[in-house]
Amino acid sequence: MRSITKSIALYLALVAVFAFRTVVSAQAPSDPGGRVVLVLPFDNHSGNASLNWIGDSFPDTLNKRLNSAGFLTISHDDRTFAYEHMGLPADFKPTRATTIRMAQVLDANYVILGSYSVQAEAGNGGANRITIQAKVLSIDSLRLSQAIEDSAELARLFDAENAVAWKVAGVLDPHFSASEQTFLAAQGAVSLPAFEDYIRGTNAGSDTEKLKRLESAVALAPTYADALLALGKEQYAERKFDAAAATLAKVPKTDRLALEANFYLGLARFNSADYSGAQKAFEFVAGRLPLPEVVNNEGVAVSRLGKDAVAEFQRASQADPSDEDYHYNLAVAMFRRGDTVGATLEVNAALKLKPSDNEAAELLSQLKAAPAGERLNASADSGFSPLERIRRSYSETGFRQAAFQMDQLRAARMATLPAGQRAVEYTQLGRQYLAEGLLPEAETQFQFALAASPNSAEAHAGMAQLREASGDPAKARDEAKTSLIMKPNAAALLVLARLDLADKNFAASADDVSRVLKMEPANAEAIALRMVLQEHGQSVP
């Protein structure tokens, strides 16, 4: 989209150097390409303009779910870019020809089109019901799919959109195997009023309206990560740095939005002179997606703390030698250290890239006048006070593309492993996603593990935990029993123990817990379940 960004190439080059773990779903090993999807706002056929916000909500929800299914979706910002590039107003309703042209501009393989209507439902107390129709347009084959339909009470809009997303994923990828229940149980559901305020806020035409709506969304749903991020970014844009930092810090580290939230959290803290807090926020992001702009910002924060940041700036400049700011920052850091030779080389590199950089020219002048080994002696009084440069913009598209590309590389690497080892690694990744509440992503990994090794007790136990978390106790019990047939293990037994406890079958639950404690006497969850059972008058052997 607009071609793969420079940041992606840089990120791929960093793989051998930096440890990382992505927070988006793994790409299916069998089909690494042709998975870029553009979701357009759905058309309102209700005849009620006050419901237009619902149309804007479809790209938001479908993008999340399709990302979890291994597709790369195009962001709101990139849609805006395409409209501007084509000279179209933001509220333009594209024709089929315009849609195809827009997809070509954004390098999309598929476009999701749709419409909806909302009507009072007879016989149900007059409750509003939404009926949705979506179609998939393949840009590669110029073919439009059959209609994909769903309906629900309007209060269950989020469920209806998740159901549509699941059906769309099946059309996009015939091999897609995650269950609909997993999609319906995916994290992110909030009350309809909070969802409406968030969507209206992100699409508001004025900053005042945007702030008002987002504040309302967070007030209605204080843990709503999407609204917290959007509100924090808006507060940051209005230079309310302390408020922005307080808001952004509430986005959980395990949430898929944590990288973007912590990037802006670092900037907000930096602008409030909380350099220690800024360094920690940038460090969190760099540890997972070590793009040069993030590593650079970590170095700037370290430098403001009066510490040596040469290592960070070296990492950034080595990753992207074509960026003059990284060379400039490294030169300043080296001068502070007393490495005038190294600093001179770096500032010359910066000036070669940007000869009009007056600050770099002044720094070179000072270096030429400094004796070898002299440290930077900067002060405002002398008129020479160079400061390392921070990057203030976050490219959501670049970050998501980088993570997507890395998922593809990981899938290619996994395909070369023996089946047993491949199953182990997919299961471990599935458990990580499950612990973070990323249910569709977790199911994908467990499916990959079972495809590699159908008799993996660990993968079946993971699938049992996934089914339990998605609200499907019958299938969870089946998976747990299958796992135990293959090998006795605590994870599967604990699933059965929880299910039996929920069914008030205390004796069976006690037996499950007892078996776990015989295998793992210090198992904390089993100990906690034993205490619960004892409170119900059930002893655990």
Smallest CA-to-CA distance from 203 within 66, 195, 351 is with: 195
- Compute the distance between CA of residue 503 and CA of residue 492 in angstroms, rounded to an integer: 17
Banded pLDDT at 30 (limits 50, 70, 90): very low
Question: What pLDDT score does 27 carry?
Answer: 35
Question: What pLDDT score does 460 carry?
Answer: 97
pLDDT above 70: residue 351: yes
- Compute the distance between CA of residue 301 and CA of residue 390 in angstroms, rounded to an integer: 9
Q: Report how far apart, in Å, the C-alpha atoms of 383 and of each of 328, 333, 366, 367, 378 are.
A: 18, 18, 12, 15, 8
Banded pLDDT at 487 (limits 50, 70, 90): very high
Q: Which amino acid is at 271?
A: N
Q: How many residues does the chain have?
A: 541
Mean pLDDT of 29-46: 77
Mean pLDDT of 151-179: 92
How many angstroms from the chain centroid is the CA of residue 102? 25
pLDDT above 70: residue 381: no
Cβ-proximal residues to 219 (8 Å cutoff; 6+ apart), any chain: none
Cβ-proximal residues to 508 (8 Å cutoff; 6+ apart), any chain: 496, 500
Question: Mind listing the pLDDT tens digit for each residue in 435-483?
Answer: 888 888 899 999 999 999 999 999 999 999 999 999 999 999 999 999 9
Question: Mind listing the pLDDT tens digit for each residue in 2-15?
Answer: 333 444 444 333 33
Question: Mind listing the pLDDT tens digit for each residue in 317-329?
Answer: 998 999 999 999 9
Question: What pLDDT score does 7 carry?
Answer: 41
Bridge partners of 44, per DSSP, are 116
Question: What pLDDT score does 277 carry?
Answer: 97
Mean pLDDT of 207-227: 95
Question: What pLDDT score does 123 carry?
Answer: 65
Question: What pLDDT score does 80 carry?
Answer: 80
Q: Which amino acid is at 394?
A: Y
- Compute the distance between CA of residue 388 and CA of residue 307 in angstroms, rounded to an integer: 13
**What one-character DSSP code corresponds to residue 376?**
P
Banded pLDDT at 183 (limits 50, 70, 90): confident
Question: Mind listing the pLDDT tens digit for each residue in 271-323?
Answer: 999 999 999 999 999 988 888 899 999 999 999 999 999 999 999 999 899 99
Q: Which two tokens stand for residue 462?
A: 């993971």
Complete DSSP assignment for 382-406: TTB---PPPP----HHHHHHHHHHH
Q: Which amino acid is at 336?
A: R
Question: What pLDDT score does 137 carry?
Answer: 95
**In the chain, what are the domains?**
31-174 (3.40.50.10610), 414-535 (1.25.40.10)
Count other Cβ atoms within 10 Å, centred on residue 3: 7
pLDDT above 80: residue 342: yes
Banded pLDDT at 379 (limits 50, 70, 90): low
Question: What pLDDT score does 124 carry?
Answer: 63
Mean pLDDT of the chain: 87
Question: Mind listing the pLDDT tens digit for each residue in 96-145?
Answer: 888 888 888 888 999 999 999 999 876 666 679 999 999 999 999 999 99
CB 267 within 8 A of CB 245: no
- pTM assigned to the model: 0.80
Count other Cβ atoms within 10 Å, centred on residue 146: 8
Q: What is the 3-state secondary structure (H, E, C) of 304-340?
A: HCCCCCHHHHHHHHHHCCCCHHHHHHHHHHHHHHCCH
Higher pLDDT, 190 or 458: 458
